[in-house]
Amino acid sequence: GAVVSQHPSRVICKSGTSVKIECRSLDFQATTMFWYRQFPKKSLMLMATSNEGSKATYEQGVEKDKFLINHASLTLSTLTVTSAHPEDSSFYICSVSSGHEQYFGPGTRLTVT
């Protein structure tokens, strides 16, 4: 399966600042990557589909101006949480898909103080 990395693994930021999370596909060229959000002991909620070279597709209820996604190459997608607030604190996970399967990064724990 594909190997996916995320950076950083943990980040703490102050309310009002912006945070960028990187998702890299290390051994697979991904035209599409996915971003999920997960609250403690809850399932993953799909936030958006990141498309290489074009605009991301956001799920209903996800603010595209708050969660900026850039997919500039076949191996890198970034998620920027703008003007972060404590309620944005969560576990953010990206994935790449290959056929019927998808492979996940290790996740990024964001804490907004």
Give the residues lining the site for other proteins (CB under 8 A).
1, 4, 32, 34, 36, 41-46, 49, 91, 93, 95, 97, 99-107, 109
Judged by CB, which is closer to other proteins: 79, or 93? Answer: 93
Judged by CB, which is closer to other proteins: 12, or 46? Answer: 46
Rounded Cα–Cα distance for residues 110 and 19 (Å) = 9
Judged by CB, which is closer to other proteins: 9, or 18? Answer: 9
Q: What angle do CA 11, 91, 10 make, to 5 degrees?
A: 20
Give me the least distance between CB of 99 and other proteins, in Å please.
8
Instruction: Decide: helix, strand or coil at residue 86.
Output: helix
Give me the least distance between CB of 16 and other proteins, in Å please.
26
CA distances from 111 to 25, 38, 46, 54, 75 (A): 24, 13, 19, 29, 26
